[in-house]
């Protein structure tokens, strides 16, 4: 999937060039349940990670902007709460597919890593001299 062309060159989506980073993966995972606004995303991320991942608000919104630019999420709605705009986002079908692909890739990598840890421990690599 390409976003378009620029002077004859095909412009590729950032998410096609680089594997989805941790924060993007978490945002997509939270949005797989239901549309969320920024604060809801922060709460969802905290819940998914038992509070170990606490992105800065600016970092979260840069990630949201990039995911939207790549067509993985879209604005779902806007409401005014306490005089402030609250914009919510939802996954697109492309975003859901990307999340599915990335989840499978990470699961495969985790299985390989776990297997190698077990093998390393079995032969006594852990704790040895470097």
SS3 category, 100: helix
Domains and CATH numbers, the chain: 2-122 (1.10.10.10)
pLDDT exceeding 70 applies to what percent of the chain? 82
Query: Residue 12 pLDDT more than 90?
Result: no
Mean per-residue pLDDT, 92-120 = 95
Query: Residue 3 pLDDT more than 50?
Result: no
Mean pLDDT taken over the chain: 87
| Per-residue confidence band for 85, with pLDDT thresholds at 50, 70 and 90 | confident
The secondary structure element, H or E, covering residue 45 is helix 38-48
| Per-residue confidence band for 84, with pLDDT thresholds at 50, 70 and 90 | confident
């Amino acid at each position: 999937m390409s976003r378009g062309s620029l002077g004859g060159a095909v412009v590729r989506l950032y998410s096609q060039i680089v594997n989805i980073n941790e924060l993007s993966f978490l945002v997509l995972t939270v949005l797989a349940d239901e549309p969320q606004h920024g604060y809801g995303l922060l709460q969802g991320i905290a819940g998914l990670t038992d509070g170990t991942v606490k992105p800065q608000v600016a970092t979260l919104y840069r990630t949201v902007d990039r995911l939207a630019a790549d067509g993985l999420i879209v604005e779902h709605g806007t409401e005014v709460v306490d005089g402030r705009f609250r914009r919510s986002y939802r996954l697109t079908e492309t975003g859901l597919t990307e999340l599915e692909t990335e989840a499978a890739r990470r699961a495969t990598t985790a299985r390989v890593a776990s297997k190698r840890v077990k093998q390393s421990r079995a032969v006594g690599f852990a704790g040895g001299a470097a």
